[in-house]
Structure 1
Amino acid sequence: MSTRSRAVLLGVMAAAALSLSACGNGGVSGGGGDTHFVTGDNGIDTAPRGKRDAAPELSGKTIDGRTLDVADYKGKVVVLNVWGSWCGPCREEAKYFSKVSKAYAGKGVQFVGINTRDTSTTPAVAFEKENDIAYPSLYDPTGRLMLRFEKGTLNPQLIPSTLVLDKEGKVAARALQPLDDATLLKMVKPVLAEK
C-alpha cells in the first residue's frame, strides 16, 4: 500500500472514529424506514405516545460504587444524560442539568447520568463535585450501555446526548447537542404533563 493510500485510509478511519465517539454538537439518527419520531427546529427529536420504543436495560455500578437500575424509576420521568469529564460541551451543560435536577427533585422527575469513556471514576467524581451534580451516574467507560439502544430508535449517538424517558420507561425525546436549562425543560415538561 502506498504512503498516500495509507494516509487516505487513516484519514477515513479517524473521521469515522470521531463521528462515533467524539464530543459533538448534533447528528442524525441511524436506521431507515418509518421511525415515528420527528426532529423539531430546536434539534430535539420526539416520539408521540404509542409510537415510542422502550429503553433497554440500563443498570450497573455508579461512579461512586453503588448499584443502580434505571427500571427502578418507572413511574417517573427519567432524564438520561450521557457525558464524559473530558467533553467540553458536557462541561457547558452541566450547570443547567444541576439546576433543573434540583428544581424538579420531588416532582416526578429523576435525573441519571451515564458517564462514558473516562478511564477511571476519579475524573468523573471530580466533574460531578465541581458542577454540583447531586444525581447518580452509571459508570460506562466502554460505551456498552449506549450500544444497548437499537439502531433506528431515539438512541444516544454522541457525547453529550440527552434522552427523556416517559413514566413507562419509553424514550419520548432526544437531543444530540449540549443543552441549556430552557431547552432541557422543553424536553421534560411535555413528558411530565402526560397523564
Structure 2
Amino acid sequence: MNSVRITRAVLAVTTAVGSLSLGACATGADGTEQGTAPGSAVVGVTMVPEGERRPLGEIRGETLDGGKLDVADHRGRIVVLNVWASWCAPCRAEAPHLADVAEETRSEGVRFVGVDTRDTRRLALAFEEEYGVPYPSLYDPDGRLVLSGFPKGTLHPRAVPSTVVVDREGRIAARAMGELSREDLHGMIDPLLAEG
C-alpha cells in the first residue's frame, strides 16, 4: 500500500515538474538554445487576489542601451515585466504581441519592462530592433536581477520566457510562464486596470 502511494506521489511530482518546462527554453553553457517543448503553450497564468499580493523586490540596473532603470520608479502604474532572451524561440514568437499590447495600454498607464537574461548585449539589441520592442530592457546576463528581485514565497519567473505583472501598489499580481498571446496579456492586465 505504501509503495502505491509513493509511486503516485512520484508521478504527481514528475508531471508537475515536467509541466514547468512547456513553452520554455533551455540553454547550454554557450548560451545557445538547446530546444523547446513541442508547441508553445503558456504554462498557466496565475492571478493573485488583491488582498494576498506581496511586494516586488528591487529590480534595477543597466538597460541594454546603457541607461539606468529602476522598476520602483513606475510605482502608481501597472508594470509588465517580461523575462526573455534572443536565443529563445517562444520569446521571438511572443515579441510582436508584447510590443503591440505595450503600445495599446501605454495611455492607460501600463508600462512594460524587459529583462534580458543569459544573453549577449549584441544579440539582445538586434532582437529588440528586429521586433520593434518599444520599451526598455534591463540587461541581466547572469540572472541575478531575476533571482534577487522576487522575495521568497512570491510568484517569480521560473523559465524563459516568463511574464510577471505588478499592480499599481508595486505588488506581484500575476505570472505566466511560456509564450503569451495578445489575449493572454490582456487577461493579465485588464483586471488590474479595472481595479481603479
TM-score in terms of structure 1 length: 0.78
Letter in 2 for 1:83: W
Cα distance, 1:145 vs structure 2: 1.1
Q: Distance in 2 between matches of 1:22 and 1:171?
A: 25
Cα distance, 1:68 vs structure 2: 0.2
Q: Distance in 2 between matches of 1:67 and 1:42?
A: 32
Q: 1:22 aligns with which of 11, 21, 26?
A: 26
Q: How does 1:71-86 map to 2 (within 5 A)?
A: 71-86=72-87
Residue of structure 2 in register with 1:193 after alignment: 194
Q: Distance in 1 between matches of 2:82 and 2:90?
A: 12
Q: Distance in 2 between matches of 1:42 and 1:85?
A: 20
SS at match of 1:114: strand
Residue of structure 2 in register with 1:175 after alignment: 176
Cα distance, 1:100 vs structure 2: 0.5
User: Kindly tell me: are residues 157 and 138 of structure 1, through their superposed partners in 2, closer, same or farther at Cα, counting changes over 3 Å?
Assistant: same
Cα distance, 1:152 vs structure 2: 3.0
Cα distance, 1:50 vs structure 2: 1.7
Q: Distance in 2 between matches of 1:162 and 1:193?
A: 20
Task: Say yes or no: does 1:140 pair with 2:168.
Answer: no
Identity %: 50
Q: Distance in 1 between matches of 2:47 and 2:95?
A: 22
Cα-to-partner distance string for 1:112-139 (whole Å, 9 max, x where unaligned): 0000001x31111110110010100000
Q: Distance in 2 between matches of 1:44 and 1:76?
A: 21
Q: Distance in 1 between matches of 2:138 and 2:100?
A: 20
Q: Distance in 1 between matches of 2:60 and 2:70?
A: 4
Residue of structure 2 in register with 1:67 after alignment: 68
Residue of structure 1 in register with 2:104 after alignment: 103
Q: Distance in 2 between matches of 1:67 and 1:147?
A: 19
Aligned length: 164
Q: Distance in 2 between matches of 1:44 and 1:164?
A: 11
Cα distance, 1:150 vs structure 2: 2.9
Cα distance, 1:21 vs structure 2: 7.4
Residue of structure 1 in register with 2:121 after alignment: 121
Mean Cα displacement is larger for which, 143-152 or 96-105? 143-152
Q: Distance in 2 between matches of 1:61 and 1:42?
A: 29
Q: Distance in 2 between matches of 1:169 and 1:125?
A: 28
Consecutive unaligned residues of structure 1, counting only runs of 5 or more, are: 1-14, 26-40
Consecutive unaligned residues of structure 2, counting only runs of 5 or more, are: 1-16, 28-35
Cα distance, 1:42 vs structure 2: 7.7
Cα RMSD (Å) of the superposition?
Answer: 2.4
Q: Distance in 2 between matches of 1:64 and 1:42?
A: 31
Q: Distance in 2 between matches of 1:42 and 1:140?
A: 23
SS at match of 1:22: strand
Q: Distance in 2 between matches of 1:84 and 1:58?
A: 17
Q: Distance in 1 between matches of 2:25 and 2:51?
A: 31
Task: Give the 4+ runs in structure 1 shifted more than 3 A.
Answer: 18-21
Cα distance, 1:22 vs structure 2: 2.1
Cα distance, 1:146 vs structure 2: 1.2
